[in-house]
């Protein structure tokens, strides 16, 4: 949710970027609806800045960012994920239970939602985008921590050492972590140069 990313937004503004919150709403809604909200914010940022957009997403937000990059690569310069299990989902049992509750609420609010909504079996545009190939024109960075505690850190990496960055801390702590901020700053500074980002060492 945008509320917990206000500090990150403020820091990005302080270091010279025009930072937008996602405008997605709460995570407890149909992923396809949330994805459309994010795409609306991306279109607004693109129109107002006349530049390709950098996306930074924490946890599930990173998965939405990757989906947007696949669906509209001409408007996305880079995606940085923070503890986002985009290669699969192995999580704490409590998180799985919460997911079941969220899915039940989604079906109550959106009776016409596709069968399997908010699961890997869903047929919506958001779910389909996650199965598509990553666009070569969009730079990516995957920040993860072995002490995550919520998701399995091994699913938060691409497997490419020039893309994956390990930091210390916990899952929630990633969005307040000074080392994470240094990584974001370094990657945002190198992406516009039209070359592959160098590995980051911390």
Average pLDDT over every residue of 20-27: 86
Q: In terms of pTM, does the model score above 0.75? A: yes
Average pLDDT over every residue of 93-101: 61
Tell me: the pLDDT tens digits for 52-85?
999 999 999 999 999 999 999 999 999 999 999 9
Q: Hey, where are the domains in the chain?
A: 2-90+125-193
What is the 3 state secondary structure string of the chain? CHHHHHHHHHHHHHCCCCCCCCCCCCCCCCHHHHHHHHHHHHHHHHHHHCCCEEEEEECHHHHHHHHHHHHCHHHEEEEEEECCCCCCCCECHHHHHHHHHHHHHHHHHCCCCCCCCCCCCCCCHHHHHCCCCCCCCCEEEEEECCCCCCECHHHHCCCCCCCEEECCCCCHHHHHCHHHHHHHHHHHHHHHHCCCCCCCCC
Give pLDDT, residue 45: 97
Q: Which CATH class is domain 2-90+125-193?
A: alpha beta
């Amino acid at each position: 949710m945008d509320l917990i990313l206000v500090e990150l937004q403020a820091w990005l503004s302080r270091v010279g970027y025009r930072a937008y919150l996602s405008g997605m709403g709460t995570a407890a809604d149909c992923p396809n609806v949330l994805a459309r909200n994010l795409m609306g914010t991306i279109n607004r940022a693109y129109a107002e800045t006349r530049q390709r957009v950098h996306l930074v997403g924490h946890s599930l937000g990173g998965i939405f960012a990757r989906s947007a990059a696949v669906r509209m690569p001409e408007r996305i310069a880079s995606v940085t994920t923070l503890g986002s299990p985009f290669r699969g989902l192995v999580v704490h049992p409590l998180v799985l239970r919460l997911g079941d509750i969220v899915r039940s609420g989604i079906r109550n609010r959106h009776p016409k939602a596709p069968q399997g909504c908010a699961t890997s079996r869903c047929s919506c545009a958001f779910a389909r985008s996650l199965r598509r190939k990553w666009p070569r024109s969009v730079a990516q960075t995957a920040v993860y921590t072995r002490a995550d505690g919520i998701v399995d850190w091994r699913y938060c990496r691409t497997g490419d050492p020039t893309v994956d960055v390990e930091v210390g801390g916990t899952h929630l702590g990633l969005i307040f972590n000074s080392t994470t901020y240094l990584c974001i700053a370094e990657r945002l500074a190198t992406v516009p140069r039209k070359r592959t980002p160098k590995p980051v060492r911390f």
